[in-house]
């Protein structure tokens, strides 16, 4: 059975381990960092066809040298985001997570600087601060989406920012009726967006009811035994654009409450991050502790990081801070 990404396989492995990182875990984290570097640093050598952002830059520059600075800023943001979630999936205390991120991001920055030097540029990047949060996940792909006590209608977290909402759903477990199907509800107390997941004999459907009560649908072919990925924040169903999911960005504002309805009507794995500490979010009637081997789990995580970077080449000097919170929807 497939997972949302390879990272869900790592999440499943991590759920059975102690939160403290050992030598093997650090070796795996170094491998993850190396892979991220190999993929993401390609962007440093490309020219982006995007508008040049200049706000909040300390800059002395010529237009011909800005491409490298823009490319580097994009690579820093992407690299930090990838490493942030990989570190969170490995697990640990807030202090351990911050230390692991600093180590991985430092390695990334060193590799980026080496590549930039070949082109006559000097770069550096580091973490400035972070926001403590909670990772809510279900690594057990054979379990339905009910809470620890098998409650089908339940609230995962209230009055929170949320990001990185991803599902990997068993096609066979889904209801054949929209009305009785699994629903994800995100509510900011003024507006709500409801996302239903159901199937017929050959397709899986994602139906989104926006804040105005208008429902739109996207779908993907799925055979018996298939698993389907839903990336809510990125607006993708099995890797293909699902425009109705855009409502989670356009219709909601500020802190939200995240709830499941009819959670027994879907099986699979999922994860999301919220910007409240685990001490606030964790409820023993809903969640299992990290390392228990059971689901669902609420555990300490870094919700966001602020990183700074410097890029210097010829007459171009850029120094900037970036807030990185991958897949933030509210």
Does a structural domain hold residue 193? Answer: yes
How do residues 121-134 score in pLDDT, each as one tens digit?
Answer: 999 999 999 999 99
Compute φ and ψ for 158, nearest 5 degrees: -125, 145
Are residues 150 and 111 part of one domain?
no
Helix axis angle, 66-90 to 6-15, nearest 10°: 40
**Is the residue at 299 inside a domain?**
no
Query: Do residues 150 and 111 both lie within one domain?
Result: no
Number of domains the chain contains: 2
The span from the CA of 179 to the CA of 219, in Å, is 17
Q: What is the structure's pLDDT at 37?
A: 55
Cα 138 from chain centroid (whole Å): 14
150 shares a domain with 106: no
Query: Does residue 127 lie in a domain region?
Result: yes
Whether residue 276 lies inside any domain: the answer is no
Question: What confidence tens digit (pLDDT) does each residue in 81-114 have?
Answer: 999 999 999 999 999 999 999 999 999 999 999 9
Same-domain check for residues 155 and 260: yes
pLDDT score for 294:
97
Looking at the domain assignment, is residue 287 inside a domain?
A: no
116 and 169 inside one domain: no
pTM exceeding the 0.75 threshold for the entire prediction: yes
For the segment 271-284, what is each residue's pLDDT rounded down to a tens digit? 999 999 999 999 99
CA distances from 312 to 113, 121, 123, 293, 297 (A): 11, 6, 6, 48, 44
In a domain, 45, yes or no: yes
16 and 46 part of one domain: yes
Residue 89 lies in a domain: yes
| pLDDT of amino acid 310 | 98
- Sorted by sequence, the CB contacts under 8 Å of residue 41 that are 6+ apart come out as 75, 79, 111, 112, 115
- Pair 107, 40 in one domain: yes
Q: Are 180 and 226 part of one and the same domain?
A: yes
pLDDT bucket at 146, cuts 50 / 70 / 90: very high
Neighbours of 166 (CB within 10 A): 23
Q: How confident is the model at residue 316 (pLDDT cuts 50, 70, 90)?
A: very high
Q: pLDDT for 258-268, tens place per residue? A: 999 999 999 99
Residue 56: CB atoms within 10 Å:
10
Q: Are 318 and 67 in contact (CB under 8 A)?
A: no
Confidence band (pLDDT; 50, 70, 90) for 67? confident
Confidence of residue 315 (pLDDT cuts 50, 70, 90): confident
Do residue 241 and residue 212 come from a single domain?
A: yes
Query: What pLDDT is attached to residue 27?
Result: 53
Whole domain around residue 243: which residue ranges? 144-266
Are 51 and 118 members of one domain? Answer: yes
| Residue 51 belongs to a domain | yes
**Average pLDDT value for residue range 70-88:** 97
Encode burial over 13-40: b for 16+ CB neighbours within 10 A, e otherwise.
ebbebebebeeebeebbeebbeebbeeb
Mean pLDDT on 166-172: 98
């Amino acid at each position: 059975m497939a997972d949302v990404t390879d990272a869900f396989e790592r999440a499943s492995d991590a759920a059975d381990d102690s939160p403290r990182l050992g030598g093997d875990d650090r070796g795996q984290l170094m491998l993850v960092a190396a892979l991220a570097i190999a993929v993401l640093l390609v962007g440093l050598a490309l020219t982006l066809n995007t508008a040049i952002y200049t706000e909040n830059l300390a800059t002395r520059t010529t237009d011909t040298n800005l491409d490298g600075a823009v490319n580097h800023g994009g690579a820093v943001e992407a690299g930090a985001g990838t490493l942030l979630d990989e570190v969170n999936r490995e697990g640990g205390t807030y202090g351990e997570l911050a230390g692991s991120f600093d180590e991985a991001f430092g390695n990334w920055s060193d590799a980026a600087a080496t590549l930039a030097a070949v082109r006559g540029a000097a770069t550096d990047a580091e973490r400035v601060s972070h926001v403590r949060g909670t990772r809510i996940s279900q690594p057990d792909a054979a379990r339905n989406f009910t809470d620890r006590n098998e409650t089908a209608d339940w609230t995962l977290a209230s009055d929170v920012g949320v990001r990185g909402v991803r599902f990997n759903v068993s096609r066979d477990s889904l209801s054949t009726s929209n009305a009785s199907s699994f629903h994800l509800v995100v509510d900011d107390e003024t507006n709500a967006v409801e996302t239903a997941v159901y199937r017929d004999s050959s397709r899986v459907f994602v139906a989104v009811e926006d804040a105005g009560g208008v429902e739109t649908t996207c779908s993907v072919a799925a055979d018996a035994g298939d698993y389907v990925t839903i990336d809510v924040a990125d607006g993708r169903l099995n890797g293909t654009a699902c425009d109705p999911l855009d409502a989670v960005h356009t219709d909601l504002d500020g802190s939200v409450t995240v709830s499941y309805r009819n959670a027994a009507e879907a099986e699979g794995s999922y994860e999301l991050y919220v910007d409240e500490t685990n001490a606030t979010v964790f409820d023993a009637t809903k969640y299992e502790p990290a390392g228990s081997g059971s689901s669902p789990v609420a555990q300490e995580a870094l919700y966001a990081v602020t990183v700074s970077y410097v890029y210097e080449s010829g007459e171009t000097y850029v120094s900037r801070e970036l807030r990185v919170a991958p897949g933030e929807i509210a």
